[in-house]
Chain A
Amino acid sequence: MAGSNLPGPRGTDSPHDPVPEGLLGRSFAYPGPIRRGARVAPEDDAGPEGRSATPQQRAEKLVDRFAARVGAGSFTAISRKRVADGLRVRIWAPSAIDQGTSSLCGPASLLFDVATRDPEAYVRYVTSLWETGQGRIGRIDVRPGTDLKAFDPGRNVEASDWIALASLRDSENWFFDYQEDSDALAGITLPGELEGWFKKAGYTEVVNDARAIVDKDEACLRRADDYFRNGFRVCLFIHSNMLSPSTQGNGSATADHWVVQTGRVTFGATMIEGKPATTVSLRIFTWGEGRRAVPQAGVLPLDAFLDNFYGFVAARY
């Protein structure tokens, strides 16, 4: 079973937080693509146009061609250049995808994986949305509404992120209309919906072990970590209390946020107010950070974590 009884590390990587199997490359913002058996070609034998070019290099070429084309887009308030600039960053650092002031953490969790696993597909999805008003992620046919396509997110959400995330959210909403970044209610993504997106996006194995209003137990967290260790992309359904040392001790009644696990769960032990306590730490993708530490500082008691943990959706392509 994952984890040990040793105190876990804080703030720095260590053997307790190894790079998981299937993760290639590593930087502060980007843990690398998950793809079973995938290997990045060495730079010196990777022609940017040839078959040996990396997925990132091929995706960059797609962006270059997109940027060189002319003509107005379907997203009338967003320029072609803004989209291209945003995509160029996200090809190499998918964790730059940032929901910003929008409530689009569900779409961000799915699309973080799409951009990581298949940057070319991500570029095609976003550029097609901008140019034609339609895009595809596997079998998900994304057709955002007119209001959304006319909205300028300004500096609240980066332009390419807005097109990718909000279009998926709006297109999949059957009742609420998602048309601007402050539409919190219309931005809700429930576990069953995220599960459905992964399935329609072509993921062959999808597990939904999440619920919205009753928190989960340690066994569920360990199951999530086992899936992570086995190369699944694991999206954790949490209450954001756990993301700040100021609120991590507060309980919650419902989940309010999706994050993506990017580092193994480490169990530790400490003394809190004179009593022994099990602690937990891990790394996640959220809000544009690829390896945000949980906890940010100090320790996070397992009980406090579980009070804000509502399960997970795990998927493998």
Chain B
Amino acid sequence: MQDNVEVTVRRADVGLARRRGLAGALALLVAFPAAANLRAPRRVPESPSSALAAPATRLVVERERLTFLCGAEACDVLAEYDVTAVGAEHVRLEMILPAPGDVTARTNGSPETVSIVPAEPLREEELRGLPEPGPGEPPLHRAAFDGVLRPGPNTIAVRYRQPLGGEEVGHSGRRAGRFVQRFRYELWPLREWTRKEGFRLRLAIGVERPAPSLWQRWFGHPRSVSCLTSDPAAPAVEGRLEQRGAHLWLEAELGPSFPDRITCYVGDDDLMPRY
């Protein structure tokens, strides 16, 4: 009889412990839905490109026209500078590149020979200006070319390809998120130039996007583009979005003061950062 009572009590204890365990588990399930202690997002590291470093000789830069035409994985970049030289100048121009791909440079329409080398070690001014590299970011490269400038106005144009990086957002432990692509452009080298009063940088970013239907505009999240600056006083690049053909274009003008860098995002319109 005594043994039966002990067995019964022991079974009741085990039952109570199980019920408590299940209650605890249910409480955890309620408190932490799918996103419990988040896994790392999927990520594509990227490296920045930069404006041309100021040459040793005295030139005055009047404006830069910077155009990014972005496809699925990379942007074709065209950086055009209007500069004024006092006399005929032979100048060496350099810039930071995110990848050692094809680079073409022209001064006043004439093609120049471009050399590309790894940017190692980084120079002091580059170390001051470039943000710390993230893990796995591709190594930086330095493109250099010599140009012959005539007295008066000149145009320098550089074309290259900038891979898009990106990061998954809105994911949880089991659910895949959406991918927001991005690229960075370093503007701080322009600070070393002699800039004409009223210097302006005209920025145009085109992303592949068919014109969205009315349904997509109201109920969907069509692809969009947005840029942020490194200046906390003016964090957003204020610009105009316009659909032209198969591309959505963001056009903006920066200057005469400008941030150290801009970071631009490409992705669903509800994921575009605002500030």
Name the prevailing secondary structure of the A interface residues.
loop
Of B29, B36, B261, B275, most A-chain CB atoms within 10 Å: B275
**B230 close to A187 (CB less than 8 A):** no
Q: B167 to chain A: which residues have CB within 8 Å?
A: 244
The tally of residues in A whose CB lies under 8 Å from a CB in B reads 59
**B37 close to A257 (CB less than 8 A):** yes
A105 with B37: in contact, given A12-B129, A247-B170, A270-B232 (CB under 8 Å)? yes
**B172 close to A298 (CB less than 8 A):** no
**B39 close to A175 (CB less than 8 A):** no
CB within 8 Å of B: which of A103-127? 103-106
Q: Which of A106, A256, A298 contacts B35 (CB 8 A)?
A: A256
**A298 close to B39 (CB less than 8 A):** no
**A29 close to B28 (CB less than 8 A):** no
Task: Give a binary string over A223-260; 1 marks a CB under 8 Å from any B CB, 0 the rest.
Answer: 00000000000000000100011111100001011100
Name the prevailing secondary structure of the B interface residues.
loop
A60 interface residue (CB < 8 Å to B): no
A184 with B37: in contact, given A247-B169, A270-B235 (CB under 8 Å)? yes
Q: With both chains docked as a complex, state the minimum distance between the C-beta of A105 and any C-beta of chain B, in angstroms.
A: 5
**A289 close to B134 (CB less than 8 A):** yes
**B232 close to A8 (CB less than 8 A):** yes
Q: Which of A244, A272, A292 contacts B275 (CB 8 A)?
A: A272
Q: With both chains docked as a complex, state the minimum distance between the C-beta of A53 and any C-beta of chain B, in angstroms.
A: 27
Q: Which of B37, B134, B232 contacts A256 (CB 8 A)?
A: B37
**B37 close to A271 (CB less than 8 A):** no
Q: Which of B29, B173, B180, B263 contacts A187 (CB 8 A)?
A: B173
What separation, in Å, do the CA atoms of A184 and B31 have in the docked complex?
13
**B38 close to A240 (CB less than 8 A):** yes
**A291 close to B132 (CB less than 8 A):** yes
Q: Report the stretch among A35-43, A76-84, A94-102, A195-203 that lies at the interface.
A: A94-102
Q: A187 to chain B: which residues have CB within 8 Å?
A: 36-37, 173
A297 with B273: in contact, given A11-B131, A28-B133, A271-B233 (CB under 8 Å)? yes
A160 interface residue (CB < 8 Å to B): no
Of B24, B131, B132, B263, most A-chain CB atoms within 10 Å: B132
What separation, in Å, do the CA atoms of A263 and B179 have in the docked complex?
28
Q: With both chains docked as a complex, state the minimum distance between the C-beta of B41 and any C-beta of chain A, in angstroms.
A: 7
What separation, in Å, do the CA atoms of A279 and B231 have in the docked complex?
12
Q: B40 to chain A: which residues have CB within 8 Å?
A: 98-101, 286-288
What separation, in Å, do the CA atoms of A191 and B216 have in the docked complex?
43
What separation, in Å, do the CA atoms of A19 and B232 have in the docked complex?
21
A299 interface residue (CB < 8 Å to B): yes
**A297 close to B263 (CB less than 8 A):** yes
**A299 close to B36 (CB less than 8 A):** no
What separation, in Å, do the CA atoms of A11 and B36 have in the docked complex?
29
Q: A7 to chain B: which residues have CB within 8 Å?
A: 232-233
A182 with B230: in contact, given A244-B180, A298-B236, A298-B275 (CB under 8 Å)? no
A245 (CB) vs chain B CBs: closest residue: B273
**A258 close to B37 (CB less than 8 A):** yes
A268 interface residue (CB < 8 Å to B): yes
A189 interface residue (CB < 8 Å to B): yes
Q: A101 to chain B: which residues have CB within 8 Å?
A: 39-40
**B134 close to A10 (CB less than 8 A):** no
**A185 close to B32 (CB less than 8 A):** yes
Task: Give a binary string over A293-311; 1 marks a CB under 8 Å from any B CB, 0 the rest.
Answer: 1001111010000000000
What separation, in Å, do the CA atoms of A90 and B257 have in the docked complex?
42
Q: B273 to chain A: which residues have CB within 8 Å?
A: 245-246, 248, 297-298
Q: Report the stretch among B75-83, B96-104, B243-251, B264-272 that lies at the interface.
A: B264-272
**A96 close to B232 (CB less than 8 A):** no
B173 (CB) vs chain A CBs: closest residue: A184
Q: Which B residues contact A (CB, under 8 angstroms)?
A: 21, 24-25, 28-29, 31-41, 128-129, 131-135, 167, 169-170, 172-174, 180, 228-233, 235-236, 260-261, 263, 265, 267, 271-275
Top 5 A-B residue pairs of the complex, sorted by shortest distance between their CB atoms: A184-B173, A245-B273, A298-B228, A287-B40, A297-B263
Q: Which A residues contact B (CB, under 8 angstroms)?
A: 7-13, 28-29, 96, 98-106, 175-176, 181-182, 184-185, 187-189, 212-213, 240, 244-249, 254, 256-258, 268, 270-273, 279, 286-289, 291-293, 296-299, 301
